[in-house]
Structure 1
């Protein structure tokens, strides 16, 4: 919830709302499709996650290039477990912040 709140405060609504929805909808879909395993997610699950996230961006009128950037970032955040100085970065933080940043950067360029 803190990452979602930070996303809404830091980024404009045009990218913050899709980013929070990528977490709220895309992450649970990915979890349901991958089952209870804790290992690396299968390719088709990551592809489905990407599709759901891109669909969210498309429905909210995010430009295609920015939507793809956000969906790729959300999919990478969901499919990996980054560790920084021994601390695991949870995807509940990295999905909204990362995808909003990616969409904002691509839209700005």
Structure 2
């Protein structure tokens, strides 16, 4: 249980990347969206490098025992998918779409996990789905307030990614990979389709 709480706190710490961008932007410190994209690529490459060292070279740090789950011991870990998916959102979409998608992963996922029974159901229970949707909509609203449809769509995307397990053969697609992607794509589609 203590390790699970640590994982959730580390998960939530990703919101610091969004805070960094917003604060630097507000204070006019020169962290443009293009520079932020470069930062995200560098961080993702660093994480991929760490995972290569862990899986192929045998790098064993004690922190891996605390922050990775048993099934991740011999495969690419969730924190790697986390950074890669956030980076994809930042590279493909503009801030109003990418930033809330990042927060849905950083904050929405651990909050929905806290109300989950941790079972391996294909579709999570209604309480988890509603929690993820409400938290994601609250996160999206300040960024996408001009389009309620986009707020709804982004929250729906995050909820689908968090709440429905996708299996490809024996591989279960990690929701750390899908939450920002689904949320961003559906928000973008909603904005594209919305009459303005």
1:96 matched residue in structure 2: 180
SS in 2 for 1:60: helix
Larger Rg: 2
Shift of 1:89: 1.5
The ranges of structure 1 where at least 4 consecutive aligned residues each deviate by more than 6 angstroms after the TM superposition are: none
CA distance in 1, matches of 2:118, 2:168: 25
In 1, are the aligned partners of 2:115 and 2:127 still within 8 Å (CA)?
no
The RMSD of aligned alpha carbons is: 1.5
CA distance in 1, matches of 2:97, 2:169: 29
Runs of 5+ consecutive residues of structure 2 not aligned to the other structure: 1-82
TM-score, with normalisation over the residues of structure 1?
A: 0.90
Greater relative contact order (Cα < 8 A, sep 6+): 1
Shift of 1:42: 1.9
> Which of 113, 125, 129 lines up with 1:42 in the alignment?
125
SS in 1 for 2:144: coil
1:41-73 CA-partner distances (Å, limit 9, x unpaired):
320221011000000011223421011011111
**How many residues in Structure 1 have an aligned counterpart in Structure 2?**
109
